Structure 1
Amino acid sequence: MSKKAVLGVLAAALAVAYGGSTWWAGTQIKSSYDVALGELPKQTALVRVIERSYERNFLGAVSTVTLELGCPAEAEVAPAASAPAAAPAAATTDVAQATTEGEEEEPTEDDGDAKATPPKPVRITFRDTIRHGPFAGGTLAAAVIDSELVLDAKAQAEAEKLFGKAKPVTAHTKVGFGGGFTSDLTVAPAKLAEEGKGEFAWQGAQARLDMDAARTRLRYDMTMPGMDINTASKGVQVKVGKFTAKADMDGSAGWLLATGKSEGRLDSFELNAPKGLLPGGEGAAPAKSIKVLLQSIDLTGEATIKDGLYASEGAFKGKGKVNETAIDKFEIASSARRIQAAGYKKLADAWLQSTDGAGCGQRSKGQKDAMQALIEQLAPDLKAMAKHSPEAGLDRMLIEIGGQSAELSYSVALAGVTDEDLKLPGNTLLLQRGVLKANARVPVKWIEKLAETGAESGQTPPPELIAGLIEQAEQSGYVKRAGDDVVSQVEFSEGQLKLIGKPVGNFGK
């Protein structure tokens, strides 16, 4: 065979291989869309795929999808009681279909609220322009996808008021041959100014998401440069500084039970209200100006699942200033522990798949009945979770000013629940096995300062009476002195209420 013939055969083989790879890539991408859009409405009754099209050719495709967000129109009437275990379409079935034809529900005192309807659902259409691999858009990938919102003439005109000629939201996604993808999301800067009302300026946002092929591992980095809001009526100014966040999450147990670590940082938050925030009534004293500055705000979170039990913790801390008072440190930390993962997922899925859980038309009598049926259906799972002694609470809320600090914490839990206890009604179970603990500590000088400020408007006793009031409270067993602080403790367990360690009641016995 001649050299030219060999090269010709080789070129033909490469062409066939490239064409086969391109066709395979197109098939894989189409399949991924089908799976993703098929699963989406199963996650919550608040998202529905209204319309979709997928126009494919050899080198690429165009996917257009319209989603409806919010309560479905049918949610004005109650869904069937079995809705939580059914598909989303069944979850919004009109209750009238379950009644005997010709029968009418008797009016009740709740019927006056039955006409209360949820907000009208919102529809969003987005278009994906897909280029098939193996060389898509000049890069080695199974596909490259460019996504954007699709707006009609009216929506486009409204969008241009905020974003100008820029596209409001766009995404560029690179899909790997293994099925994982990296997506760069951009929200355009926006600005709106209305005479006599105020101004709004948003500097946009950027995010990068990395998802594995199994759709169970997600990493993201997000940046929002800042935002400014000014209102003309009261001259209120809000300035939000740069915010960054990142996370590495594992959703193999379901995204409602995602584990991993996350962290974020807000450089600053400023609020300036020279005329106060609340409107003053007739004859009321002039509102005082308010200035708030929060700086170096750090947010952290972590969640784990061990031996089938879910635990999470989060913290929010920083420093700042309120008017002329410098806050050296503030911190809020909360957590949840020993939450049975399987039971929690079942409860959460049922709640999300029900329009009752979403609060759609919940004022009608039919919705109240359906909600009660949902609660009764989920009661066994709630009780099963109780055996693992679940606990949640505010671990610490601390404010430090001028070398002194105030602190508050509380927790709620179930402890020592047995199989015999699970036979009890829910309220009785809570009273006998529920545990509540709360602790508070406040510097006496802070109480005096608050009294001094409040006394000017007649809202609190004068500062000179504070010492006597604290002494009376201490003699009554409500608080006790601990150095320069006043502390109090409340505990409820085994049906017994204790205040600073002393029993004050006997409940549930």
Structure 2
Amino acid sequence: MSKKTVLGVLAAAIALAYAGSTWWAGNKVKSVYDNAFAELPEQTALVRVVERGYERGFLGAVSTVTLELGCPADAARPEASEDDDGEDAAPAPAKPLRLSFRDTIRHGPLAGGSLAAATIDSELRLDIKGQAEARKVFGDARPFSARTRVGFDGGYASEIALAPGQFVDEDRTRVSWQGAQLRVRVDGARTEAHYELALPGFEAADLRNGVNLKMGKLGARADLDIRHGWMLATGKSTGRLEALEFTATGRKADPDAAPARPFPAIVLQGLDAASDATIENGLYAGTATFKGTGSVGATRIDDFEMVSSMRRIDVGAYRKLAEIWTRSAAANGCIRGGKASQAALRALLDRVAPDLKTMASHGPEIGLDRLRLEIDGQHAEFSYSAAMAGVTEEDLQLPGSALMLKRGVLKADARLPVKWIEKIAGTASGDQAASPEMAALMIEQFEQQGYLKRAGDDVTSQVEFSGGQLKLIGKPVELPAK
């Protein structure tokens, strides 16, 4: 066989192999789209696929989809029954929003200049009216863009961007943002996910009442295990917000009206957030921490920290409960109108009751482990928790309310500096120089009544409900008769 013949056969083989790879990549990508849109209606009652198209070629494809966001029109307001007097009827929810997207897909193995099963460029499709409205908000910039690289194992990496913009509703509302970027990476087995979010700045204002919320640069990232689904993702997440400012001048729309008293400005700075979640022996546990500094009016907050947690959450029962809840039109506020809405919610609660009881049998607990505030070198602490404890098989036969009364445990603790009480008493009485003796007398009266205890330079209090008994600082309190 001649050299030319060999090279020809080799070139043909390479071309055939490439064509086969491209054909396989096209099938793989289409399968991903088909599965994703088939599963979407099962995930939430607030998103529906109303129109979809997929035009496939050899080297690429074009996917179009129109999504409807919000309550379904046919579930928004049921017909009133004969015994529904209409007095509790509520207005129908807002009209669903429709958004259309176009994906331009390039099949691999050399897709868009990179080695991948496919690359996908996504864009938001707008009609003539929508384009005019978008120009008012985004100018000449493209409002939304996304580029996704699909790996040969079915995993993907996406880069999504929202352009800077500003929305103004006459003299009532103004909302502006400096853009947003999101990077997401998910492996082919759908077990691991990573994301990074960047939001340079955001501001919202109620122009009529002089209320303004301003947010500085926000960044967040996470490495997650999603084998149990996004709602039960485990792993670590971190985030940082440079500043958050809330002001309310109390200005009214009527220029002749007397100005309202300004609300103290709230400024938070250097806000750090972190969360960590695990699943062991079928039980989910997670902790979240939020801390920073700031001020309220003229009062400087030297430091604050908030730690919350949940423990012993049964994974199987929680997943079922969450799926039922997110798919329910009633839970998402889509069924309105007096007794019909109440009946739908009762039916929903009856449906999730078995899963709630399954969760109760594992002794679940949620709470605020610590809220610590430090001002002028002194600090206050607050905490609370809600749990189920010692639930037996016999207990699970009880109605939900009876089970809560028998096995529910609620605890709350507080510690407050006496100096703060003196300042609060002075502010309430209009005498900023309220004497320590006045505060001491007030503390003594509450201590005699059993509401708090003096502990050096602080006062403390504790409330607990367990075993059907309410206690205040360890002493039983008689509950009102039924």
TM-score range, shorter chain: over 0.9
Q: How does 1:179-198 map to 2 (within 5 A)?
A: 179-192=154-167, 196=171
Corresponding residue of 2:142: 167
- Of 368, 378, 381, the match for 1:407: 381
> Are residue 265 (structure 1) and residue 240 (structure 2) matched?
yes
Corresponding residue of 1:107: 83
> Are residue 123 (structure 1) and residue 98 (structure 2) matched?
yes
Shift of 1:222: 1.0
Q: Structure 1 residues 71 and 237, CA, compared in 2 at 3 Å: closer, same or farther? A: closer
Corresponding residue of 1:357: 331
Shift of 1:188: 0.6
User: Which stretch of structure 1 is more off in the superposition, 208-217 or 69-78?
Assistant: 69-78
Shift of 1:29: 0.4
Length, aligned pairs only:
481
Give the secondary-structure state (helix, strand or coil) at the position aligned to 1:112. coil
Q: How does 1:427-466 map to 2 (within 5 A)?
A: 427-456=401-430, 465-466=438-439
Give the secondary-structure state (helix, strand or coil) at the position aligned to 2:424. helix
Deviations 1:448-483 (CA, angstroms, capped at 9, x unpaired):
21222233399xx99864332221110011111111
Deviations 1:313-342 (CA, angstroms, capped at 9, x unpaired):
111110012222211111111111111111
- The residue identity in structure 2 corresponding to 1:356 is A
Shift of 1:492: 0.7
Give the secondary-structure state (helix, strand or coil) at the position aligned to 1:487. strand
> Are residue 299 (structure 1) and residue 273 (structure 2) matched?
yes
Q: How does 1:75-474 map to 2 (within 5 A)?
A: 75-77=75-77, 105-109=81-85, 111-114=86-89, 116-192=91-167, 196=171, 200-229=175-204, 232-233=207-208, 236-273=211-248, 275-276=249-250, 287-288=261-262, 290-456=264-430, 465-474=438-447
Root-mean-square deviation (Å): 2.7
Alpha carbons 2:251, 2:259 under 8 Å: kept? no
Alpha carbons 1:295, 1:320 under 8 Å: kept? yes
Alpha carbons 1:451, 1:463 under 8 Å: kept? no
Shift of 1:347: 1.0
Corresponding residue of 1:488: 461
Q: TM-score, normalised by structure 2?
A: 0.93
Deviations 1:165-200 (CA, angstroms, capped at 9, x unpaired):
111111111111111111011111113467755754
Shift of 1:508: 10
- The residue identity in structure 1 corresponding to 2:155 is G
CA distance in 2, matches of 1:73, 1:457: 58
Corresponding residue of 1:86: none
Q: Structure 1 residues 292 and 369, CA, compared in 2 at 3 Å: closer, same or farther? A: closer
Deviations 1:276-310 (CA, angstroms, capped at 9, x unpaired):
47999x99885136333211100111111111111
Q: Structure 1 residues 228 and 382, CA, compared in 2 at 3 Å: closer, same or farther? A: closer
Gap regions ≥5 residues in structure 2: none
Deviations 1:58-109 (CA, angstroms, capped at 9, x unpaired):
110110011111111121356xxxxxxxxxxxxxxxxx8xxxxxxx942334
Deviations 1:185-229 (CA, angstroms, capped at 9, x unpaired):
111111346775575431101111101112232100111111244
- The residue identity in structure 1 corresponding to 2:153 is G
Alpha carbons 1:53, 1:64 under 8 Å: kept? yes
Alpha carbons 1:321, 1:327 under 8 Å: kept? yes
Give the secondary-structure state (helix, strand or coil) at the position aligned to 1:113. coil
Q: TM-score, normalised by structure 1?
A: 0.88
Alpha carbons 1:455, 1:462 under 8 Å: kept? no
CA distance in 2, matches of 1:391, 1:232: 42
Q: Structure 1 residues 154 and 289, CA, compared in 2 at 3 Å: closer, same or farther? A: same
Gap regions ≥5 residues in structure 1: 79-95, 97-103
- The residue identity in structure 2 corresponding to 1:223 is A
Alpha carbons 2:305, 2:370 under 8 Å: kept? yes
Shift of 1:367: 2.5
Alpha carbons 1:297, 1:316 under 8 Å: kept? yes
